[in-house]
Structure 1
Amino acid sequence: MNFRQEKTFQILVSLVFSLIVYITGIGAITALIFTNATPTLADEYNKQILVGVDFSGRDLTSDSFTKSILRKSDFTNANLSGVSLFGAHLEGANLEGANLSYSTLDNASFNKANLTNAILEGAFAFHTQFRGAIIDGADFTDAFLREDTQKELCEIAKGINPITGNDTRDTLFCD
């Protein structure tokens, strides 16, 4: 093969390879469209306005909600374990039965949020606000809270978490 034939052959091989990749990609997209399947990729909801959105019952463990506005959103029975809610605004949100264990909640606002039976085990919530929140049956085992926030929560703490069996007051080390 001379140089010209070799170059033509390389171009042809490259075009065939590109065509195969293109057809494979189109096939995958077509399969997703016609089977209603969705790829399992993490969703980033960072810095988004998501007021009143329904996330109830969803597995959100790979997602991130950093600095999002989530007022009055529904996270009932959602799995938010390990999720970042850093600086998020969850005023009036429903997190009843939600799993927030090992999540980053620092600088978030849960004012007037419903955290009934929520699990916050190991959550980092040092500069988090809970004013007017409902925490009946919430489990704060090993949650990292400021002392003044812990005292505020103790004033309203009651109930036993139905999943962990832990008393809310005990998990907050209330007197």
Structure 2
Amino acid sequence: MINILLQLVGFVAAIALLVLPRPALAQATKYYDPPASYSNAMLMGKDFSGQTFHAAEFSNANLHSTDFSDADLRGSVFSASVMTEANLHSANLSYGMADQVDFTRADLSDAIFEETLFLVSTFEDTNITGADFTNAIFDGAQIKELCAKATGVNSQTGVSTSESLGCS
């Protein structure tokens, strides 16, 4: 009798797995969606604040005055893009690439750039107050320029901008 009952429970469970929706599987499938690509795009003045763009590609894009405040951009690539006057306040671009990017007059305050590559990028009149650049990769001249204006502590990581840049 117990064997028949166990077989019946197993049969009902198998049917339920086949018939009932599986939301966990649907979410897992979404994880494998390819990252967004905005390469060579003209996105001046767009509002991407608070959005998530994991491993998105913005290479050679015009992002003048674009708002990425509070955005999750971890692993994203901004190589050779124009980000003049862009707003990245409190954004997270950790493990990304922002090489050869023009950050003139951009707001990078309170943003996180842990292990981000910045080679040959420009930071003229850029607000870096409270930005966390822990283990980011810069040219020597960039470090000198950024250390001259490094102030504040990142509200999310508790790391000072000066300390994250290795300023002495």
TM-score, normalised by the number of residues in structure 2: 0.79
- Counterparts of 2:158 and 2:148, CA distance in 1: 20
Trace 1:19-168 onto structure 2 (pairs within 5 A). Answer: 41-168=34-161
Give the distance between the partners of 2:117 and 2:161, measured in 1 at CA. 17
Letter in structure 1 aligned against 2:108: L
**TM-aligned CA deviation for residue 41 of structure 1:** 4.7
Specify the SS of the correspondent of 1:132: coil
Aligned length, in residue pairs: 137
CA deviation vs aligned residue, 1:84-132 (integer Å, no higher than 9, x gap): 1000100000000000101111111111100010001100111111111
Q: Segments of 4+ in structure 1 off by > 3 A?
A: none
1:42 Cα deviation after fit: 2.6
1-side partners of 2:55 and 2:114: how far apart? 18
Matches of 2:48 and 2:125, distance apart in 1: 22
TM-superposed CA distance for 1:169, in Å, is 0.4
Distance 1:83 1:42 in 2: 9
CA RMSD of aligned residues (A): 1.3
CA distance in 2, matches of 1:62, 1:148: 28
Separation of aligned partners in 2, 1:172 and 1:41 = 33
Using the TM superposition, give the Cα deviation of residue 73 of structure 1 relative to its aligned residue in structure 2, in angstroms. 0.4
The one-character-per-residue Cα deviations of 1:113-159 (angstroms, maximum 9, x if unpaired) are 00010001100111111111000000010000011100100111100
For 2:96 and 2:36, how far apart are their aligned partners in 1? 16
Identity of aligned residues (%): 36
Are the counterparts in 1 of residues 104 and 126 from structure 2 also a CA contact under 8 Å?
yes
- Return the alpha-carbon distance in structure 2 between the equivalents of residues 151 and 62 of structure 1: 29
TM-score (norm 1): 0.76
Larger radius of gyration: 1
Alignment partners' CA distance in 2, 1:106 and 1:72: 18
Maintained 8 Å contact 2:55/2:77: no
